[in-house]
Amino acid sequence: MPRIASFAAVPVLVAVALGAAGGADTDSFARTAPFALITGVEHDPWCDEGDDAYVLDSPADLRGPHFSLSLGCLFRGDAVPLDLAAAGSDLEHVVPVEDGSEFLIAQVASMAEYEPELEADAMAVTAWIQAGGERIDLNGIPAEGRSFVLSVPVGEDAVLWVDDSGRAQGLDLRTGAQVEPIGSYYNGLRLSEVAIGGYNTGEIDVYNSRASGYVRCADGSGTAHRSVWREDLGWAAEGTVFLEVRFKWCSELESSTWELDRERAVTVDRNTPLSWTATELEGGWDHFAIVFAVPADADEITVDFTPYGEVENDESGTLAFAGDLPHFAWVAEF
């Protein structure tokens, strides 16, 4: 049955002196049973770059829409190391493990390697440790700088899991290796907004049996934003990420309207959008937010814009385009 552990400091009931070798007094009769989780307070790092316990330069990192976490130090042994006990961790009185067991000790880095994709939200995240057949539920993600000690049978696997918005990723508490990571977070490509080119249609001739004239629309630039999770769409499908394209369009002209074709006007690799949201602005402009699914490993994405659509004149009705429409290729680099 799952147990719940808080990441408030847990007092140890039996206090023993630390031995010279860097652990609890091995002559004490007190021993820590398997599958016990003991947490300390936030403190400075107790391992340095180059130490065997140092994992901050390895991918011992997790990231989601609403959290981020990095491990700084990992250690395994039968007692709490002297450096950790002396570092103000509040773990100096942890007694050694029973025979046949070992401690897996981790310290969360004082600063995570990544930022959350959106913003931290504890309500969207659950965390637990799975050690063999035992699940220990946590009251939140371990805080930055905090250490925790887990006792397990020698050689038993143990993973710190974090579920964010329905998808779980883990860190192996022996090696720091990622377990079932969401690869789009760790492939080195930016999850951010970049500028893309604008457009100027020039004067495009339009006509019908009752009238003729021209239409024109221009705007200097737009943006593209790459993301793995969205509030409205959830998680991107495996192997893809979301690309949101934003730009302004003059939907209302002096005496006409120009509505873009949402299936044809804006495409990525000839694919139509997953969603298209229009927001009215002043002066007859609309602001469009158009979302596509794109390959997760693509560092450069071309968005094709051709202003297909329908021009409606207030007096003469629907107008046809007299010639070919201009085409614009916007390149988003991540």
| 60 pLDDT more than 90 | yes
User: Quick one: DSSP state of residue 93?
Assistant: T
**Residue 80 pLDDT > 80:** yes
Instruction: Write down the pLDDT at residue 46.
Output: 85
Instruction: Indicate the pLDDT class of residue 45, thresholds 50, 70 and 90.
Output: confident
Which of these, 138, 64, 53, 143, lies nearest to 104 by C-alpha position? 53
| Residue ranges per structural domain of the chain | 3-183, 193-333
Q: Which H helix or E strand runs over 204?
A: strand 204-207
**pLDDT bucket at 93, cuts 50 / 70 / 90:** confident
**pTM score, two decimals?**
0.86
**What pLDDT shows up at residue 84?**
83
Confidence of residue 88 (pLDDT cuts 50, 70, 90): confident
Q: What is the CA radius of gyration of the chain?
A: 29
Q: Dump pLDDT digits (tens) for 309-334.
A: 999 999 999 999 999 999 999 999 99
Look at residues 233, 189, 142 and name the one whose alpha carbon lies nearest to residue 334: 189
pLDDT reading at 196 higher than 90: yes
**% of the chain surpassing 90 pLDDT:** 80
pLDDT confidence band for 175 (50 / 70 / 90): very high
146, pLDDT greater than 60: yes
Cα-based distances in Å from 221 to 192, 246, 263: 16, 9, 22
pLDDT band for 5, please (50, 70, 90 cuts). low
Q: Measured between alpha carbons, how far is 13 from 28 in angstroms, rounded to an integer? A: 13
The whole-number pLDDT of residue 58 equals 86
pLDDT by residue (tens digit) across 292-304? Answer: 999 999 999 999 9
* Of 239, 235, 227, 286, the residue nearest 262 (C-alpha): 286
Q: From residue 106, how far is each of 53, 126, 296 by CA, in Å? A: 9, 19, 31
* Residue 24: partners with Cβ closer than 8 Å, 6 or more residues away: 16, 17, 18, 79, 80, 93, 94, 95, 96
Instruction: Give the tokens for residue 4.
Output: 């719940």
